[in-house]
């Protein structure tokens, strides 16, 4: 069916409301019509994500209901009397999409636990396990711009569904050919039939207690938390309630919340790109810092699963730590604190993704802790936690990815900015008592374990043509990549789509025992490396880079030279 045939089908369907039809009729640009209908919004391995609007390639009540009908069919075929927890963030239409999903599930006799108001993604993960559900849904587009929303699906372990169940769910979703197959009931009927329950404090309170219990140095917090000066911004998202509550209950009374960014608002008026990776989201917090002089500043994205920290460097200037830098600090703090307090368990493990800094390997080795690499995406960290829980082979301590996602503890199975905020405050307090800032602590770690520097370049390529360019560029690199970068030889090529690692020096191949993914990693003889992959959630190609140097300045210089050379190769491939 062509995009124009799909467009006409929506205009003439008895299942589409008049408001949606009018939105479609008012589109004057045929390219816009094509982009809305040239494909169905793809239900990927984690769910849906796209621009909010009418059309098959957009986030709307109809695409949400279709996905939920497929999920309901999967649940009813896999479990007896399944139940699902649902949460949503502050984005445009999040509440409406959550309600539509809930009523579709109820229409299929699936019991639903719907949060009474917006909640962070990690609290949804917790609720799935706490309520013994067979699945979960969270409505969010994470850190994407305001035009986007999304729909993430969780399994009974509280983690995002991994590849095998995701493929089954996708099969059920794709089998729905028209909206007449979608079953739904109204809210009153769902409540009366005991298929819809609203949840709040019972789950909130339990979760908050679990977060507080993760603290390692409880006596330090009890005695000194009031001395730590904190500025926090929820960036118009869902983080204010749980983070403020956790920190206040721990005694962090000197907490200042950025007033202009504390209220949930899906238009993100002060931060068009509500991503704590972006220094611009901290502008108001930094203005506050001139008077408060905080020990730590941090912010969370709309669904509060990512966190960015801001610290003063040695020149007195505020600096947004990279996701890798915060991960290095937390890894060392957790391992050293557990060892010092005799709480380091047997067979301990830290998990990171293949695009995350290798610097933590030296730290982990120093404490006798194993490091495991997984594919990009926190669901693979959650999958490992479940594996360890099943076979009792290892004790999970901490997991992180360079994109500002961190998790300690196992009661949540996704990255958790509430947990991370609590640990970052504890860590900052610990170093403050030693007369050190977090930046000085980071510098000391580099002095001890070696200097590395990482960067990420995101290349945005919109629409059908953009996706085709990304695909052809990666194929070009897969088959026609040079043997060196800036006169430094490539010694290993890891192809995660083909599951092969090629040793280009010893002419040897090994199997990569990870799920297949369209990712390429090139490792050079000076230990620098770069990774290329398409984003799973945005119309972007991502290029990750890492170098090692003899000092921080040397690392910065090498990184700029390396990035320039790699990006020339990438840009040639995009032509």
Residues 6+ apart with CB under 8 A from 443: 314, 552
CA distance 227 to 424: 15
For residue 200, with 0-12 CB atoms within 10 Å meaning exposed, 13-18 middle and 19 or more buried, which class applies?
A: exposed
Instruction: Tell me the pairing of strands 508-511 and 500-503.
Output: antiparallel
Cα–Cα distances in angstroms (integers) from residue 319 to residues 297, 326, 458, 542, in the given order? 10, 12, 21, 23
For the chain, report the end-to-end CA distance as a whole number of angstroms: 31
Active-site hit among 83, 90, 94, 142: 142
Q: Where are the beta strands (DSSP E) in 243-330?
A: 255-257, 296-300, 307-312, 318-320
For residue 290, with 0-12 CB atoms within 10 Å meaning exposed, 13-18 middle and 19 or more buried, which class applies?
A: exposed
Of 336, 337, 333, 331, the residue nearest 356 (C-alpha): 331
Q: Could you give the angle at which helices 323-340 and 417-433 cross, rounded to 10 degrees?
A: 70
The answer to whether residues 402 and 357 touch, using CB atoms and an 8 Å cutoff, is yes
The answer to whether residues 541 and 518 touch, using CB atoms and an 8 Å cutoff, is no
**Where would I find the H helices in 357-462?**
360-366, 378-391, 417-433, 438-449
User: Angle CA(296)–CA(299)–CA(300) in degrees, nearest 5?
Assistant: 140
Give the pair of three-digit tokens for residue 169: 């769910």
Of 535, 376, 323, 407, the residue nearest 121 (C-alpha): 407
What is the four-CA torsion angle of 135, 138, 142, 148, rounded to 10 degrees? 120
Give the pair of three-digit tokens for residue 351: 């998990």
Of 59, 42, 71, the residue nearest 97 (C-alpha): 59
Q: Which long-range contacts link 441-449 to residues 24+ away (Cβ below 8 Å)?
A: 441/329, 442/321, 442/325, 442/328, 442/329, 443/314, 443/552, 445/328, 445/329, 445/332, 445/363, 446/359, 446/552, 449/359, 449/362, 449/363, 449/366
Cα–Cα distances in angstroms (integers) from residue 35 to residues 27, 81, 541, in the given order? 12, 39, 19
Is 90 among the catalytic positions? no
Give the residues across from 501 on adjacent strands. 494, 510
Q: Which long-range contacts link 175-178 to residues 24+ away (Cβ below 8 Å)?
A: 175/70, 175/73, 176/66, 176/69, 176/70, 178/15
Give the pair of three-digit tokens for residue 378: 């926190």
For residue 561, with 0-12 CB atoms within 10 Å meaning exposed, 13-18 middle and 19 or more buried, which class applies?
A: middle
The answer to whether residues 135 and 117 touch, using CB atoms and an 8 Å cutoff, is no
CA distance 76 to 247: 41
Q: Where are the beta strands (DSSP E) in 58-110?
A: 83-88
Residues marked as catalytic: 142
């Amino acid at each position: 069916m062509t995009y124009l045939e799909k467009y006409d089908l929506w205009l003439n369907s008895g299942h589409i409301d008049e408001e949606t039809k009018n939105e479609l009729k008012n589109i004057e640009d045929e390219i816009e019509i094509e982009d809305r209908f040239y494909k169905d919004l793809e239900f990927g391995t984690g769910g849906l994500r796209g621009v909010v609007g009418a059309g098959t390639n957009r986030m709307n009540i109809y695409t949400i209901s279709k996905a939920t009908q497929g999920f309901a069919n999967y649940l009813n075929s896999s479990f007896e009397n399944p139940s699902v927890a649902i949460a949503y963030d502050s984005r445009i239409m999040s509440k409406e999409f959550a309600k539509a999903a809930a009523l579709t599930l109820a229409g299929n006799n699936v019991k639903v636990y719907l949060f009474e108001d917006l909640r962070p993604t990690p609290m949804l993960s917790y609720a799935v396990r706490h309520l013994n559900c067979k699945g979960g849904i969270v409505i969010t587009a994470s850190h994407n711009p305001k035009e986007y929303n999304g729909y993430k699906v969780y399994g009974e372990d509280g983690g995002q569904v991994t590849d095998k169940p995701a493929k089954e769910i996708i099969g059920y979703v794709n089998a729905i050919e028209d909206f007449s197959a979608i079953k739904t009931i109204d809210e009153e009927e769902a409540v009366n039939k005991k298929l819809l329950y609203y949840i709040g404090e019972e789950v909130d309170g339990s979760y908050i207690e679990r977060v507080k219990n993760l603290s390692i140095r409880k006596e330090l917090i009890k005695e000194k938390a009031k001395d730590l000066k904190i500025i926090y911004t929820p960036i118009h998202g869902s983080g204010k309630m749980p983070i403020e509550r956790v920190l206040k209950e721990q005694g962090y009374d000197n907490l200042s919340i950025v007033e202009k960014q504390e209220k949930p608002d899906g238009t993100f008026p002060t931060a068009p790109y509500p991503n704590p990776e972006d220094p611009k989201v901290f502008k108001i917090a930094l203005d506050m810092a001139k008077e408060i002089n905080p020990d730590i500043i941090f912010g969370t994205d709309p669904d509060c699963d990512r966190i960015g920290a801001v610290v003063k460097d040695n020149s007195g200037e505020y600096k947004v730590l990279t996701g890798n830098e915060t991960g290095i600090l937390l890894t060392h703090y957790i391992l050293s604190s557990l060892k010092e307090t005799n709480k380091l368990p047997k067979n301990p493990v830290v998990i990171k993704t293949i695009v995350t800094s290798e610097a933590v390997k030296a730290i982990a080795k120093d404490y006798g802790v194993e490091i495991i690499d997984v594919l990009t995406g926190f669901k693979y960290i959650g999958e490992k936690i479940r594996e360890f829980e099943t076979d009792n082979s290892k004790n999970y301590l901490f997991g992180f990815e360079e994109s500002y996602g961190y998790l300690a503890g196992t009661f949540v199975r996704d990255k958790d900015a509430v947990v991370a905020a609590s640990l970052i405050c504890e860590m900052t307090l610990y170093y403050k008592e030693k007369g050190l800032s977090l930046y000085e602590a980071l510098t000391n770690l580099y002095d001890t374990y070696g200097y590395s520097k990482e960067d990420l370049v995101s290349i945005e390529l919109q629409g059908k043509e953009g996706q085709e360019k990304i695909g052809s560029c990666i194929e070009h690199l897969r088959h026609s990549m040079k043997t060196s970068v800036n006169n430094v030889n490539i010694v290993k090529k890891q192809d995660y789509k083909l599951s092969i690692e090629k040793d280009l020096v010893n002419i040897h191949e090994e199997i990569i025992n990870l799920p297949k993914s369209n990712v390429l990693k090139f490792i050079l003889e000076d230990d620098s490396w770069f990774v290329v992959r398409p984003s799973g959630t945005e119309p972007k190609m991502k290029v990750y880079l890492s170098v090692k140097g003899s000092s921080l300045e040397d690392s910065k210089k090498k990184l700029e030279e390396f990035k320039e050379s790699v990006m020339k190769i990438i840009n040639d491939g995009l032509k």
